[in-house]
A and B are shown apart, each in its own frame.
Chain A
Amino acid sequence: MTDVPFPNLSVKDPDAEGVLATWFVTDGDEVAEGDLIAEVAVDKVDVEITAPAAGLISLLVEEGDVTTQGTPIARIH
């Protein structure tokens, strides 16, 4: 089991919040390591999130949700 955290995009502010902008997978999808799974935004900077492992993905936040850096956004089983 691998957690996918919201990435640390702001060094100055460890509690910085960002938005889960786009999910490129749906809950329960099978993903391969390196697949594009999401795009997140902090202060107008967009960052692509790729799968750190292969498996079945569970999404823990919804598109548009505001999340703190480091919080798990998905789990790969």
Chain B
Amino acid sequence: MTLTTPSQAATRRKLSTSKAMVEAIAHEMRRDPSVFVLGEDVGSYGGIFSSTTGLLDEFGPRRVLDTPISETAFIGMAIGAAVEGMRPIVELMFVDFFGVCMDQIYNHMAKIHYESGGNVKVPLVLTTAVGGGYSDGAQHSQCLWGTFAHLPGMKVVVPSTPADAKGLMISAIRDDNPVVYMFHKGIMGLPWMAKNPRSVEPVPEDAYEVPIGKAKVVRPGSDVTIVTLSLSVHHSLDVADELSADGIDCEVIDLRSIVPLDTDTILESVGRTGRLLVVDEDYQSFGLSGEVMARVVEHDPGMLRAPAGRVCLPDVPIPYARSLEYAVLPTRDRIRQAVRKVVNA
């Protein structure tokens, strides 16, 4: 098992995020016979967001299992398999469905290692689709990563690019802890969704790991630190490009992991810029945006030269109507206004 860093220079081959995820899973299934996939429509359908397309053809129905619509049953089955030494990847089709299976996730998956005194490992990856923007209503559009990050015992990763999606998937599969892998539908590069231009990018062909718990400065800047993740990384980068024409130099941090949270990278950046904006598609209150601000203030409240800002989903259910949905999502317009306010420009 090698820990390698992707050599971007040698890579020209491009993949969409969904294909990069599949490639990562296939790499690990070829390498390790204990890795298998289960969930609703992961087999012949290939995952409703194409996160498992083609795996059934290569690995067959004994390693790619279509399950009935009973999340408690099949996530419980995956936990049992992990406890017995397998390395399952189990898909919760939409994170919004967590309500029916949360006992398995946070009372079993997340706690078995602790309650066994560290004697029993649960090397499981729980993949799940998150996010809105395509009129799927209040029960199919949430992010909810703050909910999972709040409960101890699980790592939580949230890639935003094809290359990170592959490397974080491989890291998640090889990790002996339960890892929740949350992919935004808007980053997958799906033909039938509004396409984000960065959802098709060069991806190294070999297996490589992106370390869990390490954020990435995706755009260096000096005036304000934008801490963000998932699809909002791309909106923030677009806004940063626009505002550079007005002389506002934004640094953009893609968190990539929420648990563990890379506090050092946040502090180092805010220490330089003195200004902080958090862009988070999850609900505003009691979540990630407040946690990021708390980490800064706990370290040194004097780091901030201006009040911190945040662009999140207001604490309302996500509307179905497109105009209303886009009124609550962290759009480029809202991010741009918030940056201007934080830098007082």
Contacts and interface: CB of A to CB of B under 8 A. Distances in A.
Interface of A: 19, 21-25, 29-30, 35-36, 39, 41, 44, 46, 63
Interface of B: 12-16, 19, 189, 191-192, 195, 200
B15 A46 contact: no
A46 B12 CA distance: 23
Nearest to B46: A46
Contacts, number: 27
A46 B14 contact: no
22 contacts: A19-B191, A21-B191, A22-B16, A22-B189, A22-B191, A22-B200, A24-B15, A24-B16, A24-B200, A25-B14, A29-B12, A35-B13, A36-B13, A36-B14, A36-B15, A36-B19, A39-B16, A39-B191, A41-B192, A44-B192, A46-B191, A63-B195
- Specify the main secondary structure of chain A where it touches its partner: strand
Contacts of A25: 14
B15 A41 contact: no
B269 to A, nearest CB: 32
Contacts of A41: 191-192
A19 to B, nearest CB: 7
Contacts of A22: 16, 189, 191, 195, 200
Q: Which of A22, A35, A44 has the most CB of B within 10 A?
A: A22
A21 B192 CA distance: 8
Given A29-B12, A36-B15, A39-B16, 16 more contacts: A21-B191, A22-B195, A22-B200, A24-B14, A24-B15, A24-B16, A24-B200, A25-B14, A30-B12, A35-B13, A36-B14, A39-B191, A41-B191, A44-B192, A46-B191, A63-B195
